Amino acid sequence: MEDRRAFFKKIGILGLTGIASKLVSNEQLNALETFGNEGLQNAPFTLPTLPYNYNALEPFIDQQTMTIHHTKHHQAYVDKLNKAIENMGGKFVLEEAFKTISKAEPAVRNNGGGHYNHSLFWQLMKPNPSSKENKPSGKLAESILKDFKSFDEFKKEFSEKSAKIFGSGWCWLIEQDGKLKITTTPNQDNPLMDVVTEKGKPVLALDIWEHAYYLKYQNKRADYIANWWNIVNWEKAEELFLLK
């Protein structure tokens, strides 16, 4: 089992850490008290590299969508987040900030969520050129069976909730008090934020913004969702599920 912080550092959400953190004064750290002080990290945040090529998720997600989504949309969240926190002394931990995000300015909530959610989303997909059946295994599969009766029931509920999101948002599989649950959030909110009703540990995330599918699927959101199951990275989802 891996420590949460090590995991997120590895996948790039925490950005650069180390030397620069020693250059920040106590005064600056105190100014960040609202955001907690455990495992403080330094801005600027950076765009994480995708763990595959832009065309690797074809035919389920096309190269142009992946390129624009990553280099334009995600990059914009990173840039705007860095701008929003630039007066905070370069010390910032997203997961801590989410706990009291209702007190932060909207730019931090929207772009912090945007950066975090997309960083997870890229990791939670993987190429599947053979389009062979793609299912979870191990402990996560066991818990899905326990909490949703069957994998098909789980898929059905997740797909339906994704399809029903009004406007832009995300669909999540979360662990809440030891139980798996499917939830949705509007805009770039996520289950770690104090503003959402259903809080929990993210295990799986699906981007339901039109920018995630419109070039290939236009208004056919249900087709995007149905195809997405082919490229879910269940190994990564299980890693998230097993994190403390």
CB 121 → Mn ion: shortest distance, Å?
A: 7
CB 209 → Mn ion: shortest distance, Å?
A: 5
Give the span between the Cα atoms of 24 and 3, in whole angstroms: 25
Closest to Mn ion by CB, 29 or 76:
76
Give the span between the Cα atoms of 187 and 13, in whole angstroms: 19
CB 217 → Mn ion: shortest distance, Å?
A: 14
User: What number of CA atoms fall less than 13 Å from residue 151's CA on the CB side?
Assistant: 11
Q: Which residue is nearest to Mn ion (CB)?
A: 207
Give the interface segment with Mn ion, choosing from 25-33, 181-189, 197-205, 206-214 (CB under 5 A): 206-214
Closest to Mn ion by CB, 69 or 91:
69
Q: How many other CB atoms are found less than 10 A from the CB of residue 39?
A: 16
Closest to Mn ion by CB, 66 or 212:
212
CB 164 → Mn ion: shortest distance, Å?
A: 18
Q: Does residue 95 bind Mn ion (CB under 5 A)?
A: no
Closest to Mn ion by CB, 39 or 51:
51
Mention every residue, 6+ apart, whose C-beta is less than 8 A from residue 43. Answer: 15, 82, 85, 86, 88, 90, 91, 92
Closest to Mn ion by CB, 70 or 126:
70
Closest to Mn ion by CB, 42 or 65:
65
Mention every residue, 6+ apart, whose C-beta is less than 8 A from residue 199. Answer: 174, 176, 191, 192, 193
Percentage helix, strand, coil for the chain under 3-state DSSP, each rounded to 5: 50, 10, 40
Q: Does residue 170 bind Mn ion (CB under 5 A)?
A: no
Dihedral (CA of 92, 97, 98, 99) sign: positive
Out of 207, 221, 224, 232, name the contact with Mn ion by CB under 5 A.
Answer: 207
Q: Does residue 209 bind Mn ion (CB under 5 A)?
A: yes
Please work out the total of residues on this chain that contact Mn ion, with binding judged by CB under 5 A: 3
Give the span between the Cα atoms of 112 and 183, in whole angstroms: 19
CB 6 → Mn ion: shortest distance, Å?
A: 26
Question: Which position has the token pair 């798996």?
Answer: 180
Give the interface segment with Mn ion, choosing from 140-148, 158-166, 212-220, 227-235 (CB under 5 A): 212-220
Give one DSSP letter per residue of 55-70, joined into a string: TTTTTTS-HHHHHHII
Give the span between the Cα atoms of 84 and 208, in whole angstroms: 25
Give the interface segment with Mn ion, choosing from 7-15, 78-86, 205-213, 217-225 (CB under 5 A): 205-213
CB 165 → Mn ion: shortest distance, Å?
A: 13
Binding site for Mn ion (CB under 5 A): 207, 209, 212
